[in-house]
């Protein structure tokens, strides 16, 4: 049976007297799922990110993480299950070097120096930063800093990773780095649950499931090909659709059907030519 690791129940949030930013939102996420959460400016997605990471508390409704309610009493325990990669790569780099930064979370865990070195090495390799261990943050690009943050979280072996608009301050190269890294991570560890709050629709297209928020409510919650099926509908709520799907839709009107599993530009070109 599918195991629920995150459950959001009738969640509402508003700052004093103001209109509701989140209005009775419910959804759940299963173990091992990679879910992207999208929505335009003001849709409530950043507020939802803050609630999930317990920076804000809901006015109404509940969040359960791994069957524990997210509240003051449980937060310490829950933090051992959940890792968050934030938007600004500079604000989360704590160590003075890449090595220190990846080790930071491990230092509280009573791990021998020797063992720690090994772990740091292993996880820096997973994110492709093994040749930068002694570098200082000033010498790294935004994408590289985010990769270091991800390594630090992976090293802790947590069950759930939340990406809170982790690519929105990066250049296109950095966005693609992180996009690919998440996919690779998921492949290596199918039990890892990933929730990415993002405005990168190309990323959403590659995830298992997309939740679309609009004006504080869930607008869609489905597999990517269903969510992005109707271009006009998405445009109405100020969202675009992925490039590959745009081409597929236009070909469809000409009566040309493309395999549903084709998701990248390269695959699409190959499919058409072969």
Partner 1 sequence: MSLISFNNISFIYNKKDPNHYDALKEVTFSIEKGDFIALVGHTGSGKSTLVQTLNGLLLPTSGYTKVLDYYVTGDKEIIKRLKKEKNIKKRELKRFSHLRKEVGMVFQFPEYQLFSDTIIKDVMFGPLNFGLSEEEAKKRAIEALDEVGIDYTYYEKSPFEISGGEKRRVAIAGIIASSPSILVLDEPTVGLDPNGKKEILSLIKKIHEKGTTIIIVTHDMDVVMEYASKVVVLKDSRFIKMVTPSELFNSKDLSNFSLEIPSFYKFKRYLADFGFNKDITNINTIDELVDKIGEKYGK
Cβ closer to partner 1: 84 or 239?
239
- Choose, by CB under 8 A, the member of 3, 134, 157, 168 that binds partner 1: 168
The Cα-based distances of 18 to 21, 22, 41, 87, 220 in angstroms read 8, 11, 17, 26, 25
| Interface region with partner 1, contact rule CB under 8 A, candidates 4-12, 71-79, 103-111, 167-175 | 167-175
Q: Is 50 in the site for partner 1 (CB under 8 A)?
A: no
Per residue, the 3-state secondary structure of the chain, as one string, reads CCCEEEEEEEEEECCCCCCCCEEEEEEEEECCCEEEEECCCCCCHHHHHHHHCCCCCCCEEEEEECCEECCCCCHHHHCCCEEEECCCCCCCCCCCCHHHHHHCCHHHHCCCHHHHHHHHHHHHHHCCCHHHCCCCHHHCCHHHHHHHHHHHHHCCCCCEEEEECCCCCCCHHHHHHHHHHHHHHHHHCCCCEEEEECCCHHHHHHCCEEEEEECCEEEEEECHHHHCCCHHHHHHCCCCCCHHHHHHHHHHHCCCCCCCCCCCHHHHHHHHHC
Question: Which of 41, 113 has the CB closer to partner 1?
Answer: 41
Number of residues that bind partner 1 (CB under 8 A): 31
Q: Which stretch binds partner 1 (CB under 8 A): 49-57, 95-103, 214-222, 261-269?
A: 261-269
Question: In this chain, which stretch among 16-24, 181-189, 217-225, 241-249 interacts with partner 1, using CB under 8 A?
Answer: 241-249
* 56 lies in the binding site for partner 1 (CB under 8 A): no
CB–CB of 258/251 below 8 Å? Answer: yes
Token pair, residue 32, equals 């091992």
Q: Work out whether 250 is an interface residue with partner 1 (CB under 8 A).
A: yes
Q: Which is nearer to partner 1, 15 or 109 (CB)?
A: 15
Q: Which of residues 90-149 bind partner 1 (CB under 8 A)?
A: 141
Q: Which of residues 171 and 191 has its CB atom nearest to partner 1 in the complex?
A: 171
Binding to partner 1 by CB under 8 A, coded x per residue (else -) over 174-213, reads --x----------------------x-x------------
Stretch that binds partner 1, among 107-115, 121-129, 216-224, 236-244 (CB under 8 A): 236-244
- Spatial separation of the C-alpha atoms in residues 249 and 261, rounded to whole Å: 14
Indicate the residue among 17 and 254 with the shorter CB distance to partner 1: 254
Q: Is position 27 an interface residue for partner 1 (rule: CB under 8 A)?
A: no
Least distance in Å: CB of 204 to partner 1?
A: 12
Q: Name the residue nearer to partner 1 (CB basis): 100 or 165.
A: 165
CA distances from 211 to 33, 138, 214 (A): 12, 36, 10
* Residue 79 touching partner 1 (CB under 8 A): no
Residues contributing to the site for partner 1 (CB under 8 A):
40-42, 141, 168-169, 171-173, 176, 199, 201, 238-240, 243, 246-247, 250-251, 254-256, 265-266, 268-270, 272-274
């Amino acid at each position: 049976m599918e195991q629920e690791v995150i459950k959001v129940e009738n969640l509402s949030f508003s700052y004093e007297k103001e209109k509701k930013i989140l209005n009775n939102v419910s959804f759940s996420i299963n173990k091992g799922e990679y879910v992207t959460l999208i929505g335009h400016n003001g849709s409530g997605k950043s507020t939802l990110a803050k609630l999930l990471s317990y920076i804000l508390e809901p006015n109404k409704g509940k969040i359960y993480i791994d069957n524990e309610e997210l509240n003051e009493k449980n937060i310490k325990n829950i933090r051992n299950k959940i890792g968050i990669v934030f938007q600004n790569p500079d604000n989360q780099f704590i160590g003075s070097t890449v090595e220190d930064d990846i080790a930071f979370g491990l230092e509280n865990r009573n791990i021998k120096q020797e063992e720690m070195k090994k772990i740091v090495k292993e996880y820096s390799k997973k994110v492709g930063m093994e040749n930068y261990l002694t570098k200082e943050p000033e010498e790294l690009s935004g994408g590289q800093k985010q990769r270091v943050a991800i390594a630090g979280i992976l090293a802790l072996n947590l069950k759930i990773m939340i990406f809170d608009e982790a690519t929105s301050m990066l250049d296109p190269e950095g966005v693609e780095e992180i996009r690919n890294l998440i996919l690779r991570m998921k492949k290596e560890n199918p039990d890892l649950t990933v929730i990415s709050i993002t405005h990168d629709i190309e990323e959403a297209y590659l995830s298992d499931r997309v939740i679309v928020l609009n004006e504080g409510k869930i607008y869609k919650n489905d597999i990517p090909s269903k969510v992005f099926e109707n271009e006009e509908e998405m445009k109405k709520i100020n969202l675009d659709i992925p490039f590959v799907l745009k081409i597929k839709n236009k070909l469809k009107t000409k009566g040309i059907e493309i395999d549903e599993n084709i998701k990248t530009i390269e695959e699409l070109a190959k499919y058409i030519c072969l």
